[in-house]
A and B are shown apart, each in its own frame.
Chain A
């Protein structure tokens, strides 16, 4: 069999059967969830009744997006060892969340990242608005990555046009989130997580079986392949990636939001640990899969299907398990995208409706029924935005979009979140300017980087060589927040800090309901 001839041009029967089965299961879940969604708390936080294991699986699923399931093994298949920084950085970020972020965020907030800042600084509406805009920016970026990636791959695997694939994903996401809210999202993420871990184990086992389960033989064959020099990061780039991904992961809004679905901080902590367990297993398996693809197919074949390496997993699945297995993987990939986009949509909807509409525009004067209506309108707006962007950005390199979001998360959210939780002297003005500086400068630096200057505007040389600007923008955001805080500090600010510290440890659900 010649491996460049794949059956991917035709819709595989297994893909469609598994896909229909998945749809049947998820429709039942969404319907069941819709009947249990009565309040805003149900819609955004699944009634805070999710247990630690369920939430752990859902956190892992919300994080294991297209970039981990398809992008990472693809990159390993093209550049080998150099790609291994990404999974290490992700687990580093998750551990940071366990040590510093999960418990305080759960105890201080209600639904969103902005709640935490509002708890620290009182009801400054400009602070809340800036925090919400950062969240919406990040959510749209991630949504766009998922939708563009999925539009390409699902289009290829099911033999449907890109635009149709984008609309299908968008509509399924919209309907499920609109009616089932966070309850449906949680359960669909749990199901997806179990499936994706199983698939990663099977893929790794198939790849190893091809070498008679001699892992060293596989690594040897992988090491013999050439690496794609253009995709191999230089020294400064590597360190910037290590910093951006590590810190960016620790403050992703759609991961933070999952902490609010559990009853208390200790459950949030345990659920995060369960998520890490899943991620360790998944990343070890998917790395082995990546090396398997590198050893068995080689970078040249993989790049001929997609220059970014995104077809490595589908090609490997077909080579090792035939069209039957490829169909299964394709359907699981759809489930991955669906679960991740649902989590993102609900996070963005919370920022739009709970932060912007309810707290900034209406100053909290909105009853529960209206809040639920606004939350659903916000979901529709996000759906429209992501479909439109998805179609506008068709054919765009996903790597560009990934660069946009990790650096922005590490610079806009992480510095201010850490300072708000642990630095007594941070002021409202410091927090606002830190977020604006982090977001603004990372967007500017991406614009000046090779990704936009060379990749999109087709200039000969970029203004700045760095693709991932986190190495510059994250320290810059810290500096701005600290400098502005020193300039605007008043004694009364530290009283609020003492109050917040107490809440950080104990939580104050009843107080939070009344005050936020």
Chain B
């Protein structure tokens, strides 16, 4: 920050940083939105519609159990999507930042 050149370099790598963060947040927020909708729908059903969750979808299998088992698997699937996205794209972008910006 002492010279104009350093400040320019810092600000151009600053744009790159913002771009990477923006892309990462887009992926994260999309996945979080999906998860929030599923999770809080389930939590609200748990809170206000216990009778509905106790209903059996096939003989002996209540909807509540099926949904809750799904609700354990959904975050795992979403995390898998995020991790494979990050392994493929995000890490590369961060590595380039390391070489170009420093």
A223 to B59, CA, bound (A): 12
Stretch at the interface among A85-93, A158-166, A318-326: A85-93
- Residues of chain B within 8 A (CB-CB) of A91 are 71-72, 75-76
A95 to B78, CA, bound (A): 8
Q: Closest residue of chain A to B35, judged by CB?
A: A95
The answer to whether A98 and B65 touch (CB under 8 A), given A235-B47, A280-B72, is no
- From A81, A85, A89, A266, give the contact of B54 (CB < 8 A): A81
A280 to B13, CA, bound (A): 40
A269 to B88, CA, bound (A): 13
The answer to whether A82 and B50 touch (CB under 8 A), given A95-B79, A98-B82, is yes
Task: Check A99 against B28 for contact (C-beta < 8 Å).
Answer: yes
A88 to B35, CA, bound (A): 11
Cβ-based interface call for B6 (8 A): no
Cβ-based interface call for A84 (8 A): yes
Interface centre among A95, A287, A498, A506 (most CB of B within 10 A): A95
Q: How far is the CB of A94 from chain B (nearest CB, A)?
A: 7
- Residues of chain A within 8 A (CB-CB) of B91 are 266
A498 to B20, CA, bound (A): 13
A81 to B65, CA, bound (A): 7
Task: Check B14 against A498 for contact (C-beta < 8 Å).
Answer: yes
Task: Check B13 against A502 for contact (C-beta < 8 Å).
Answer: yes
Task: Check A501 against B83 for contact (C-beta < 8 Å).
Answer: no
Cβ-based interface call for A246 (8 A): yes
Interface residues on A, range: 35 or more
Cβ-based interface call for A284 (8 A): yes
Cβ-based interface call for A273 (8 A): yes
- Residues of chain A within 8 A (CB-CB) of B50 are 81-82
Task: Check B47 against A276 for contact (C-beta < 8 Å).
Answer: no
Task: Check B64 against A81 for contact (C-beta < 8 Å).
Answer: yes
Q: Closest residue of chain A to B48, judged by CB?
A: A235
- Residues of chain A within 8 A (CB-CB) of B43 are 85, 238-239, 242
Q: How far is the CB of B66 from chain A (nearest CB, A)?
A: 10
Task: Check A276 against B75 for contact (C-beta < 8 Å).
Answer: yes
- Residues of chain A within 8 A (CB-CB) of B73 are 280
Task: Check B86 against A269 for contact (C-beta < 8 Å).
Answer: yes
- From B48, B68, B83, give the contact of A269 (CB < 8 A): B83
Interface residues of A in 72-115 (CB under 8 A from B): 81-82, 84-85, 87-89, 91-92, 94-96, 98-100, 103
- Residues of chain B within 8 A (CB-CB) of A82 are 46, 50
A498 to B11, CA, bound (A): 10
Stretch at the interface among A214-222, A409-417, A437-445, A453-461: A214-222
Task: Check A505 against B21 for contact (C-beta < 8 Å).
Answer: yes
Please list the 5 inter-chain residue pairs (A to B) with the smallest Cβ-Cβ separation, ordered nearest first.
Answer: A216-B60, A95-B75, A242-B43, A84-B68, A238-B47
Please report A residues at the B interface, Cβ cutoff 8 Å: 81-82, 84-85, 87-89, 91-92, 94-96, 98-100, 103, 215-217, 219-220, 223, 234-236, 238-239, 242, 246, 266, 269-270, 272-273, 276-277, 280, 283-284, 287, 291, 422, 498, 501-502, 504-506
Additional A-B contacts beyond A94-B79, A216-B60, A219-B61 (8; CB < 8 A)? A81-B65, A81-B68, A98-B79, A242-B39, A242-B46, A273-B83, A276-B75, A280-B72
